[in-house]
Structure 1
Amino acid sequence: MDMVSPHTKNTTELRDRKRTGEILMGHGYKRGAAKLIGVLVALVGFGLVHGRPVDATDKVRIALSVRNVVFLPFYYAKDRKIYHKHGLDVEIIQMRSDLQLAGVVSGEIDYTPAIGPATLGAANSMPVKAVAVLYNAPLFSLVTPASVSSLEDLEGKRVAVSRIGSDSHRFGSLMLENGGADSKKVTFIQTGSTTVSLASLQQGAVAAAVLSPPFTGIMAEKGFKVLGRSRSLVESPWLGLVTSKQKLERQPEEVKNMLLSMRDVITAIQRDKADVISYIEKNFKVSKANATESYDEIAGVIVDAMFMRDDQIKKYLEGTHARGETSKLLAPEDLFDFSLVRGLK
C-alpha cells in the first residue's frame, strides 16, 4: 500500500542507503541497499542472509509506507507505550511498500503490515509469514468531482493510484468493476504519492483518485464525491503483521510480544473511542468530523482475534490466483501461521 502524507514528523525515513548500511554494520553486518527479491530468495536459500539478532537494547523495526491514519494501531501502540509494556523498543520506519519484504528477508526491518505484497512474495518463494491479521477489508475509496454521477462515467478517463500494481491499483479496479465500469477502459495514472494524487484530482488532471482515510474525508469536506468503497466489496486479510520465517523460528518470544502489543492496542482502540478520535485529530491534523469518520472506518474492519478462519484465507488466496496476481495457488499454511496468536493468554 503506497500512501503519502505530508505529516511525517515522528517517522524515520530510510532515504539514505548509506545510513542504512551503517545501521546494519553496527549489528555486525555489511549490507548495502536492499537487494532484488530474486537475489534475496537465492541468498536465503543458501543460508547467506540472516535476520538481525535482537537483544534487550535493540530496537524492533516496523516498516510502514507512510505516516497515515490507516496504520493507526502501530502509531497508537508506540505513543501510548504499549510496546514498551511488553519489553519492545519499537522504531517505525518509512519505506516504500515494494521494498518492505526485501527488508524483512534481509533483516533490515523486522515487521511489515503489508499482507498483499507478502502474498505475492510467498508465491515467489520468499521466506515470509503473516502471523496476524488486523484488518479484514481494505480501506480504499474512489473519489471524484461532484459532477461525476457514476463509476461508468470514468471509462475513457484517467484515475490516479499510488503505484501500478499496488493495493490502490488492484482495489481501484475492483471498485470500478463492482460499480459497472470496465476497468480496462480506464487509464490508471501512477502518481507515486497521495499528495500528488490529491493535487491531480483538485486540478482536474485526473477524473478520480483512489484514496484512503483521512484523505477520503478531507476531499469530501472540499465537496468531492465518494463513489465507491472497497471495504464493502471483499473480505480480505489486508493489514496484519508479517515477518520472516527465520525470525519466527529463532525469536518466537519477540514475535509473541509483538502480538501481545497488537492485541492490547486493538483493545484500547475499541475501548477508548474518545481518546483515539482526539489522537487522530491531533496527530494527523484533521477535523474532528474527519477523525471520527476515520475511526469508524478502522473500527469497522478490525479483527478482534487477529486471525481469520481457514475458509476465509482460502477464499482470499483463490481470488488472488484467479485474478492472475499470483503465479501459483497458495495454501493457507504457505503464508499464514496463526499458531502464536491462537496461543496468546
Structure 2
Amino acid sequence: MSKKSLGYSALIFLLACFSHPAWSQESTGLKKIRIGMPNRGVPNLGLPAAQRFGFFRAQGLDAELIVMRPSVSLQTLLAGDLDYSTVLASGARASVSGLPLRIVMALTVGQDFSLVVRPEIRRMEDLKGKTLAVSGVGEFTDVGTRLVLKKYGLVPEVDVKLRALYSNHPLRLSALQAGQIDGTVMSMPYNKMAVKMGFRELVQLREFIKTPQGGLVTTVQKIRSEPDLVLRTIKAALMANRFLRENKGEFTKLLARESGIHDQEVAGLIHEEAVKLFSDTGLVSDGVMQEFIANSKETLKVSREISISEVADFSFARRAISDLKQGR
C-alpha cells in the first residue's frame, strides 16, 4: 500500500472514530439533507455508514435517509422535498425523458445479483432442461436471467424453462430448498444465505450487466444552486464506502443492524462480495453510461440522440477524489 493510501485510510479511520455516535455530541450548524432510497440493503450500505460513523457530519451535513419506492423518490426529488435519490436506472430513464435530473455518483460498480442453483449444477450448460424462477415477467430477475442464458448460448423457454413465482427473495429461496425449481437470480443477502445452505452461485450478474445498482441522483437546480453541498455529500459517501471495505468488523455490525444478518459466515461472504462491489471513485465509464442511455431509450421508445451530459455529471466525483487524496 502506498503512503498516500495509508494516509487516506488513516484519515478515514480517525474521522470515523471521532464522529462515532458513542463519542460525538449533537453538533449545531449542520446542513440538513434528505436522501430517498428503495431499501437499506448492501448496495446502499455506504449511506447508513456515512450517517452512523460520522462521515456526513465531518462534511458539515445532517443526513436523513428515507426508504421509499423509486417512482416516489424521483417525484419527491423533483418537487424539492428530497436532495438526492439513489435509484440510478430510474433516474437515467427520467433524464432521457427530458426531466432535469443528473446522476452525480455511483455507490457500486455493478449489481449484487447472482444466479444461485442446485449444487449438482456446476456449469451453465448443465441448466439445459432445468427450471429457473424469476420474480415476474419483465422484472430485473427475468431480464437478467434471459441475458445470462443467451450469453451462454441457451435459449430461454426452449433450453431452460422460466417460471414466474411473483414472489420475493425468501419465497424463491424456499422454492429452491423444496426442489420446486433448479435455480433463481437473487441479491444479497439471500444469495449468500443460499451458499451457506449448500447451493451454488453459478454466475455473478455484474459480469454481464455493467450498470451500477446504487448511487446519487439530484436535480440540475441543486447542482447549480448548491454545488458545494453536492461535493460534500459525495465525499462523505466515498469515505464511507472505503471504510466499509477496509473494516470488516464494522461492516458486519452495520449489516446486522440494517439487514438483520447476524450469521457471521453469511456476513463474511457478503463482505467479501462488497469489497468488489463498492465503488472507490463514484465514477461510471462512458461505455456503461451509454448502456444506461440505450436501455432507457429502448424502454421509453426515444429515438433522438442523448448525450451523457444530459444524464450524468461526474465533475463533483472527480473533484471529491482529488480532495480526499490531498486530505481535504
Q: TM-score range by the shorter chain?
A: 0.7 to 0.9
The alpha-carbon deviation at position 336 of structure 1 amounts to 0.6
- State the partner residue of 2:37: 64
- State the partner residue of 2:215: 240
Q: Which runs of 5+ in 2 are unaligned?
A: 1-27, 324-328
Contact kept in structure 2, 1:317 and 1:331, CA below 8 Å: no
Pair 1:208–1:101, CA change in 2 (3 A): farther
Contact kept in structure 1, 2:56 and 2:236, CA below 8 Å: yes
1:320 equivalenced with 2:295 (yes/no): yes
Residue from 135, 144, 157 that aligns with 1:171: 144
The alpha-carbon deviation at position 234 of structure 1 amounts to 3.7
Contact kept in structure 1, 2:87 and 2:216, CA below 8 Å: yes
Residue from 156, 159, 173 that aligns with 2:133: 159
Secondary structure of 2:310's aligned partner? helix
Residue from 178, 188, 208 that aligns with 1:213: 188
Contact kept in structure 1, 2:256 and 2:262, CA below 8 Å: yes
The alpha-carbon deviation at position 73 of structure 1 amounts to 0.7
Secondary structure of 1:103's aligned partner? helix
Higher RCO structure, 1 or 2 (CA under 8 Å, sep 6+): 2
Give 1:136-285 correspondences, 5 Å limit: 136-146=109-119, 148=121, 151=124, 153=127, 157=131, 159-161=133-135, 164-183=137-156, 185=158, 186-187=161-162, 189=164, 191=166, 193-204=168-179, 206-281=181-256, 283-284=258-259, 285=261
Residue from 57, 71, 82 that aligns with 1:84: 57
**Deviation digits for residues 310-345 of structure 1 (CA, Å, limit 9, x no counterpart):** 34433x2465268x3353353211111012222232
Pair 1:318–1:123, CA change in 2 (3 A): closer
- State the partner residue of 1:332: 308
- State the partner residue of 1:115: 88
- State the partner residue of 1:295: 271
The alpha-carbon deviation at position 256 of structure 1 amounts to 1.8
Secondary structure of 2:149's aligned partner? helix
Pair 1:219–1:91, CA change in 2 (3 A): same
Contact kept in structure 2, 1:145 and 1:225, CA below 8 Å: yes
Q: Which runs of 5+ in 1 are unaligned?
A: 1-54
Q: Distance in 1 between matches of 2:77 and 2:165?
A: 25
Amino acid at match of 2:151: N
The alpha-carbon deviation at position 179 of structure 1 amounts to 3.5
Contact kept in structure 1, 2:252 and 2:271, CA below 8 Å: yes
Amino acid at match of 1:143: V
Secondary structure of 1:180's aligned partner? coil
Secondary structure of 1:125's aligned partner? coil
The alpha-carbon deviation at position 275 of structure 1 amounts to 2.9
The alpha-carbon deviation at position 102 of structure 1 amounts to 2.1
**Deviation digits for residues 103-147 of structure 1 (CA, Å, limit 9, x no counterpart):** 322234322222112222222222211001222211111123335
- State the partner residue of 1:307: 283
Identity of aligned residues (%): 20
Secondary structure of 1:325's aligned partner? helix
Pair 1:139–1:103, CA change in 2 (3 A): same
Secondary structure of 1:343's aligned partner? helix
- State the partner residue of 1:8: none
Secondary structure of 2:36's aligned partner? strand
Contact kept in structure 2, 1:136 and 1:238, CA below 8 Å: yes
Amino acid at match of 1:297: E
Aligned length: 288
**Structure-2-length-normalised TM-score:** 0.75
Contact kept in structure 1, 2:31 and 2:62, CA below 8 Å: yes
Contact kept in structure 2, 1:159 and 1:187, CA below 8 Å: yes
Secondary structure of 2:106's aligned partner? strand
The alpha-carbon deviation at position 258 of structure 1 amounts to 0.8
Amino acid at match of 1:159: A
The alpha-carbon deviation at position 164 of structure 1 amounts to 4.7
Amino acid at match of 2:225: R
Q: Distance in 1 between matches of 2:80 and 2:170?
A: 30
> Alpha carbon RMSD of aligned pairs, Å?
3.0
The alpha-carbon deviation at position 211 of structure 1 amounts to 1.0
The alpha-carbon deviation at position 261 of structure 1 amounts to 0.7
Contact kept in structure 2, 1:307 and 1:338, CA below 8 Å: yes
